[in-house]
Amino acid sequence: MTTTIAKGLEGVLFTETKLTFINGSEGILTHLGIPIQEWAEKSTFEELSFALLHGRLPGADELARFDAELRANREVPAELLSVIAAYPKGVHPMQALRTAVSHLSLFDAEAEDTAAEDRYRIGVRMIAQFSTIIAAIARAQDGQEIVAPRADLTHAGNFLYMLKGSEPTAEEARLFDIALILHADHGMNASTFTAIATASTLSDMYSAMTSAIGALKGPLHGGANEAVMDMLDEIGSVENAVPYISEKLDHKEKIMGVGHRVYKFFDPRSRVLRDYAAHVSEKQGKSHYYQILETIEKEIVDRLGSKGIYPNVDFYSGVVYSDLGIKKSFFTPIFALARISGWVASVMEYTANNRLLRPDAVYAGAKDQTYPELSDRQ
Ligand code: ACO
C-alpha cells in the first residue's frame, strides 16, 4: 500500500468555510463572494469584521451598534498597561504582544467560557483591545507615555492616534483602514489554522489568539513584511537591486515578500497596496524604497514568474506603513491587529461544528527495539 504524505498540509481540505475564497492561479480573493478590491474601495475594517463574524453584511443600524461596541471595548486594565511598560525594551513587539494577550486573560473573569456567545463577546472585545495593546507596546518601547484610546475616532484612526499621540489626517486614517481590510482574513493560512487547532480542543479564545500570534510571528508568514524592509535597507539603492536579487537567486536564497503557498500569480492584495505605495512614493517625490521594489518586482516576474512566484501582500505593505510613521518592528503586530478579525471569525465558524483537529504522521522510526539500560548505552 502506498501512502502519500501531504507535506505542509498542502492541498488538504479539513473544513468548509463561507468566509473567504481564493483562486491562487488567477489571483482572486473574495470575502462573502465580494472581491477584495471592492472591500478595500468601499468598506471599512469595522464593516468587514462584522461581515466575517456574522457571515453577512450588516444593515446600517447593526453596523452602528457593532462599531459602538468596538469603541466601548477599547480600554484595557491599567495593571496590564503597567506590565507592558515594564517589559524589557529590546524585545520584539510580537513577543510582547503574545505575552500581553495571554496576560489580558488573567483580568477576564469569563476568560475560560467557550460557548458560542462567549467566544463572540470575548472575540469582539479582543478585536478592540489589540489596538490599545499594540499601541501601548510601541509607546512603552520608545520610552513614551502610553496614550489612552479615544471613542470618537474610527478603529484605524484611533490606533494611529494612540501610536503617535496626535490625531492622524483623514487620508492617513483611511489608508491605514484599507491596509487593515486587506489583511483581515485569508482562508486557512498558518495562523488561522493554528487558532482553529487550539480552539478545536475546546480551549479558550485567549489561548487560541495567543497561539495564532505565535504562528503569525514567523518570517515565512506575517514576519515577512518586516523582512522586506530589512532587505530594502540592505539593498540601499535602485542600482543595487538587480545584482542583489540575482546573487540571492543564484545561491538559492528566498526573496522576502514574494511567493505564496496558494497564489501562483499576483496576490490581488499586493496590487492594491502597490497602487497606494506608488501614491505615497509620488507624494514624497519618488521614494527610493518604492523604486527598488518596482525593480525587484520586474526581476522576480521575469525570472520566477514561470514558477508561479510573484509579489505577495507583504511586498508593498512596508512602504505604506513607513509613510504612516510606523516602525518596521511593528509591521507584524499590525498584521495581527487586522488578522484578529479573521482568527475570531474562523474560530467561531469552525467551533460551531467542532471536531478536534488531530492529523497523523507516517511512522518512519525504529521498530522492535528492546530498552537498553543507561549503563549499556554508548
Ligand atoms: N524567493 C525565491 N524563490 C522562491 C521563493 C522566494 N520567496 N518562494 C518560493 N521560491 C521557489 C522555491 O525555491 C522553489 O523552487 P524549486 O522548485 O526550484 O525548489 C519553488 O519556488 C517552490 O517553493 P516552495 O518553498 O516549495 O513553496 P511554498 O509553497 O512552500 O512557499 C512561501 C511559500 C513559504 C511563502 C515561500 O514562497 C517563501 O518563503 N516566501 C518568502 C517569505 C514570504 O514572503 N512569506 C509571506 C507569505 S504571505 C503571508 O504569509 C502573509
Average pLDDT score, the chain: 96
Distance in angstroms (rounded) separating the CA atoms of residues 284 and 256: 24
Task: State residue 1's pLDDT score.
Answer: 66
Distance in angstroms (rounded) separating the CA atoms of residues 378 and 373: 11
Quote the cell numbers at residue 147: 496614550
Q: Do residues 345 and 53 make contact, with C-beta atoms less than 8 angstroms apart?
A: yes
6: left (phi over 0), alpha (psi -120 to 50) or beta: beta
Active-site residue 314, yes or no? yes
Mutate to test the pocket of ligand 1, among 228, 306, 307, 331 (most ligand atoms within 8 A of CB): 307
**Ligand 1 nearest-atom number relative to CA 267:** 48
State the average pLDDT over residues 280-295.
84
- Tell me the domains of the chain and their CATH numbers: 20-219+330-351 (1.10.580.10), 224-323 (1.10.230.10)
CA angle in degrees (0–180, nearest 5) for 323-324-330: 105
What are the tens digits of pLDDT across the range 147-172? 999 999 999 999 999 999 999 999 99
Task: State residue 280's pLDDT score.
Answer: 85
- The residue whose C-alpha atom lies closest to atom 8 belonging to ligand 1 is 259
What are the tens digits of pLDDT across the range 226-284? 999 999 999 999 999 999 999 999 999 999 999 999 999 999 999 999 999 998 888 87
313 Cβ inside 6 Å of ligand 1: yes
Catalytic pick among 31, 155, 221, 260: 260
Distance (Å) from CA 282 to ligand 1 centroid: 30
Mutate to test the pocket of ligand 1, among 7, 261, 317 (most ligand atoms within 8 A of CB): 261
256 Cβ inside 6 Å of ligand 1: yes
Q: Does the structure show a pLDDT above 70 at 189?
A: yes
Task: State residue 287's pLDDT score.
Answer: 73
Give the torsion through C-alpha atoms of 271, 272, 275, 277, to 10 deg.
-100
The 10 Å Cβ neighbour count of residue 44 is: 19
What are the tens digits of pLDDT across the range 62-89? 999 999 999 999 999 999 999 999 999 9
3-state SS class at 30: strand
Q: Does the structure show a pLDDT above 80 at 118?
A: yes
The 10 Å Cβ neighbour count of residue 372 is: 9
Q: What distance, in Å, lies between the first and last C-alpha atoms of the chain?
A: 37
342 Cβ inside 6 Å of ligand 1: no
Residue 96: which pLDDT band, with cuts at 50, 70 and 90? very high
Distance in angstroms (rounded) separating the CA atoms of residues 104 and 197: 21
Active-site residue 251, yes or no? no
Radius of gyration of the chain (CA): 22
Q: Does the structure show a pLDDT above 70 at 286?
A: no
Residue 187 phi/psi, 5-degree rounding, is 60, -145
**ipTM summary value:** 0.96
Distance (Å) from CA 88 to ligand 1 centroid: 34
Q: What percent of the chain has pLDDT over 70?
A: 99
> Which amino acid would we find at residue 323?
D
Task: State residue 178's pLDDT score.
Answer: 98
Distance (Å) from CA 330 to ligand 1 centroid: 23
CA neighbor of 270 nearest in space, from 314, 229, 235: 314
Distance (Å) from CA 257 to ligand 1 centroid: 9
19 Cβ inside 6 Å of ligand 1: no
Mutate to test the pocket of ligand 1, among 220, 301, 332 (most ligand atoms within 8 A of CB): 220
Distance (Å) from CA 9 to ligand 1 centroid: 15
188 Cβ inside 6 Å of ligand 1: no
